[in-house]
Structure 1
């Protein structure tokens, strides 16, 4: 059989050939970021009030303070600690005659209607289109009783992401990474374009749900293919650069949203961008390790010889005629129940799942909520993408130097504290000129949670024993998708109190960071292989065994288990 691992000794762990193939995947994954956080612009909320009959005919502008003061009741906004014009009601006796005879300035009391009757907006809403010309918020009137619908739309999109991670993840193990990506790219194009022409909110949500499933169906197989293509020592690096492609996608998304102020034009553009990706797919290679697992040695050999030619090296024939070692047979079928069957594994799994859920919830919460920070929405969104690049690269060096546990916990606590203070450094709590402090803290939170996103991936894989490693990472990823579904509803809590979403993100981040300290360190440690080793990994031992805590040394763990029949 062909020995791909041995071939890498000659090809290099990350040689020229692998870099070219990686670059193709890097470019192909950027559009995934467009769709994942597109609702920041597709569902952009703007200032609005009831349409006032006769306003234009009477010679008033839609935001004329005098006309609004006469036509719309004032309501008290606890978050702003001030009175504002109602967004959902207006006075009944408003029309061409009353407005035409209005003598300005008109002064009304702020806390009463003066006996005038009030009714709900019965002729639609006026929207401020100075920044966003058109969004699903304005087109489908997602205001008043329907204001939660944009959050529900994003939650259902993340449900599609959850379904895609499960369904297409399984498919990629069956038909291969490359073959899974093609239909997902096509689905993104078809249903992304369909969403751009959606006649109503229901069809928009359904089309976007399918796009969400397709996005994960293209991102995850590419992510796995990249890590399987390179040597072991380069896996963390290339996996991190896959995440950086997502960050670049966010920056480009901010530019596209700035240039295209209509949600239909934006949705159409981010969907059609995948069309040029289809020819790039042709030049991809299937994962050599997956091909090897399927016994398709001829294809693996072809890839190795092609790579050797590009890299300018010679691979000896012994690599292609290696004797197949007898595999260790393990007939037992491991399931998610094995992750929680024993006490130590159960405690570790609960902490890991909670960390995945919180990290994803806060990541998408901060990404979708940049418009609430004040300042320029497009710049804030681009900054949120830009800070991810140093966060991802820095997380590699931090974990190689300090280990996994302390950088992960410190980043979560730092991000949580930043979230706790962010809303209180924005108006009305501080003066307008201090708003950059709020944006800075929000970016610190995004920086920290992005670093956590990278660390938790490989740390989780290292903590679970070999026999349940795939099950452990897959189950953890599902909890991450649950966090993505919850995130829009956390953002909706701002209707109860403006700072509440950030306070929830902050408290949960600090909590997750604190309990992460209970997880074992894995840097430079031989990883557990069996469930028994996994149960005792990082565990405190009884002093009568003559050793304090060998749990993070697998060799010593095996010795103690054997000698003391633990």
Structure 2
């Protein structure tokens, strides 16, 4: 163990200092949940039709119903067409009444919406008819921002530190989040949302690294669980906030401005002591460690701080190393597919919340609420059934739920919503499992590289999920069929992975023993109750295990 690790053991794994650090992360987590799904409530499905005010010039006394009867064609159900109108003509009103209008055209002069409807993205930027796809495209642009954030802020946090990147990301999210409420054009809106997406990744990824570097191994799952539950709580708050504020610009301000509260307690946000030591800033690290010990009411043994020296960094593994070894190649490919399927099912259900037939606000509230027990239950399932079975079965269940939804009639919204909530439960649990499983499958020298590879795979599927939802214009079951099929196939692939429950974390690339062999050796050793020392001398205790 490194010198910092020994000192952190003396400081305490999860004392008041670490608890305060987790508490600091609450506000950003709540804001992240808002940014992820706020647009769903800014594009309500409202009635609309083409602007046909041209006829007022020749018939100023026409009632609204008479105007629509003369200028709008009707569909097969007898309702007015939403995306076409009769072409204007230069006739007088008598000729129009006598002969009628026949030629149709698209809505060249815009659309008319209910006057009582609060301003929304849909009504202000006309996201209807041939422009309705911009809604889902903008969601993909936001997901692209998440991808870019992982590419930019990951290396940046290793270069300049965790604390500066967190503050930069929070400033960008607040600035562009609030600024989004004042954009004049939808393409500017999409650009701002892309920056917000990048800042979201900078916050979540760097806060996770900072917490992991301050909190002991045994307590890290608890910290991850708390952050995930705060995200779910943020989803529930979004449902209430969007229900009370229907004006999209005010909603954007209300959800984005609170992130600036973070700067009121930015002084108590610590830098990572581990990072400081790797950069040779040992004195700063010592001061922080002493402060943490004081907060936790602990005493660092005399002389331990003086032994702290800059760590000699070994050559980091590269992406190519993930594919050179057969067992690592299999793990990398399957886990990348797993993260891809996790993200596809999760966002496929979350972004489709308005299409399940029930009230969108209640559905969002249920979607957020169900994530809290799913994260908690996941911990116990991992302990009881192991990583491989848990990962595979959760993906299979989420995929099967999506496939079952495709067979539910449209006049059964309650059944569809209940199934969607079950799917969200399993998809959320599958995502949490992937975090744990991946960290145990990749060796220490390649762990960050492997997790980064998996995370990028999840970002790609996040970009694709809104675009797949566009396929419902060809048939409404296509998106859910794709989400379900991918999850089922990848769930079956997970059975090819080795089990890691109860095994030591691998440090090297396993030249002599791939993970499956390590597992078998660990089991056989535990059955014997002891392991022979390499010098053939006195027996040692059974193999050390790492539990989650």
User: Could you say whether these structures have the same fold, taking a TM-score greater than 0.5 normalized by the shorter chain as the test?
Assistant: yes
In the alignment, the residues of structure 2 paired with residue 457 and residue 153 of structure 1 have an alpha-carbon distance, to the nearest angstrom, of: 28
Q: Is contact 1:47–1:127 with CA below 8 Å preserved after alignment?
A: yes
Distance in 2 separating the partners of 1:323 and 1:183: 30
Q: 3-state SS of the aligned residue for 2:269? A: coil
**1:90 and 2:85 correspond:** yes
Q: 1:399 aligns with which of 366, 376, 382?
A: 382
Kept after mapping to 1: 8 A contact 2:70/2:100: no
The CA distance in 1 between the partners of 2:215 and 2:416, in whole Å, is 41
1:494 aligns with 472
- After TM superposition, list the pairs within 5 Å mapping 1:525-536 onto structure 2: 525-533=503-511, 536=514
Q: CA deviation at 1:72?
A: 3.2
Q: 1:301 to 1:74 in 2, by over 3 A?
A: same
* Aligned position for 1:265: 250
Q: Name the CA shift for 1:385/1:295 in 2 (closer, same or farther; >3 Å).
A: same
- Distance across 1 between alignment mates of 2:449 and 2:127: 40
Aligned pairs for 1:107-126 (under 5 A) are 116-126=102-112
Cα distance change on mapping 1:325 and 1:223 into 2, 3 Å = closer
Quote how far apart the aligned CAs of 1:356 are: 0.9
Match of 1:152, SS state, is: helix
Contact 2:232 2:369 in 1 (8 A): yes
| Counterpart position of 1:364 | 347
**1:168 partnered with 2:157:** no
Q: How far is 1:479 from its partner?
A: 0.8
Residue of structure 2 equivalent to 1:460: 438
Structure 1 residues 386-424: Cα deviation after superposition (integer angstroms, max 9, x where no partner): 111111111111112211111111111111121122244
Residue matched to 1:206:
191
| CA distance in 1 between partners of 2:280 and 2:522 (Å) | 32
Corresponding residue for residue 6 of structure 2: 6
Matches of 1:410 and 1:489 in 2, distance apart? 27
Q: Which residue in the other structure is 1:189 paired with?
A: 174
Task: Give secondary structure in 2 for the equivalent of 1:90.
Answer: strand
Q: Shift of residue 475 of structure 1?
A: 1.0
Instruction: After TM superposition, give the deviation of residue 555 of structure 1 in Å.
Output: 10
Q: For 1:377, which of 335, 345, 360 is the aligned residue?
A: 360
Report what 1:469 is aligned to: 447
CA gap 1:52/1:454 in 2 versus in 1, 3 angstroms:
same
Partner of 1:543: none
Give a deviation string over 1:74-106, Cα, whole Å, max 9, x none.
445xxxxx675432112337999489979xxxx
CA contact (8 A) 2:282 2:310 kept: no
Deviation at 1:449, TM superposition (A): 0.8
CA separation in 2, counterparts of 1:220 and 1:183?
13
**1:43-86 CA distances to partner (integer Å, 9 max, x unpaired)?**
3443322223358966656xx6x87566433445xxxxx67543
Is the 1:58–1:100 contact (alpha carbons within 8 Å) kept by the matching residues of 2? no
Asked if the contact 1:526–1:553 (Cα under 8 Å) also holds between the matched residues in 2, the reply is no
Match of residue 127, structure 1, among 113, 126, 144: 113
Q: Counterparts of 2:27 and 2:330 in 1: how far apart (Å)?
A: 39
SS of equivalent residue, structure 1 residue 319: coil
Structure 2 residue aligned with 1:442: 420
Residue 147, structure 1, aligned to residue 127, structure 2? no
1:406-425 aligned within 5 A: 406-425=389-408
Q: Which residue of 1 aligns with 2:51?
A: 51
Q: 1:109: which partner in 2? A: none
Contact residue 525 and residue 552 of structure 1 kept, 8 A: no
Q: CA deviation at 1:351?
A: 1.1
State the match for 1:40 in structure 2: 40
Instruction: Call closer, same or farther: CA 1:341–1:317 in 2, change over 3 Å.
Output: same
Q: Does structure 2 retain, via aligned residues, the 8 Å contact 1:2–1:300? A: no
With over 3 angstroms needed to count, the CA separation of the structure-2 counterparts of 1:58 and 1:353, relative to structure 1, is: farther
Question: CA offset at residue 502 of structure 1?
Answer: 1.3
Please say if residues 494 and 501 of structure 1, whose CA atoms lie closer than 8 Å, have aligned partners that are also in contact. yes
Question: How many pairs are equivalent?
Answer: 523
Alpha-carbon shift at residue 515 of structure 1 (Å): 0.9
Residue 305, structure 1, aligned to residue 290, structure 2:
yes
RMSD of aligned Cα (Å) = 3.1
Task: Check whether the contact 1:411–1:451 (CA below 8 A) recurs between aligned residues.
Answer: yes
Q: Is the 8 A contact 1:416 1:505 kept in 2?
A: yes
Partner residue, 2:320? 337
Q: Deviations over 1:342-396 (max 9, x none)?
A: 3332222111111111211221221111111112111111211111111111111
Contact residue 550 and residue 556 of structure 1 kept, 8 A:
no
The CA deviation string for residues 201-230 of structure 1, in whole angstroms up to 9 with x for no partner, is: 121111111111112112211111112111
Cα distance per residue 1:288-321 (max 9 Å; x no partner): 2222322333333323332333333333224323
Query: Contact (CA 8 Å) 1:71, 1:91: kept in 2 or not?
Result: yes
Say if 1:338 and 1:74 are closer, same or farther in 2 by CA, change over 3 A.
farther
TM-score (norm 1): 0.84
| Cα distance change on mapping 1:98 and 1:73 into 2, 3 Å | farther
**CA–CA distance in structure 2, aligned partners of residues 270 and 457 of structure 1:** 28
The 1:68–1:2 alpha-carbon spacing in structure 2 relative to 1, beyond 3 Å, is same
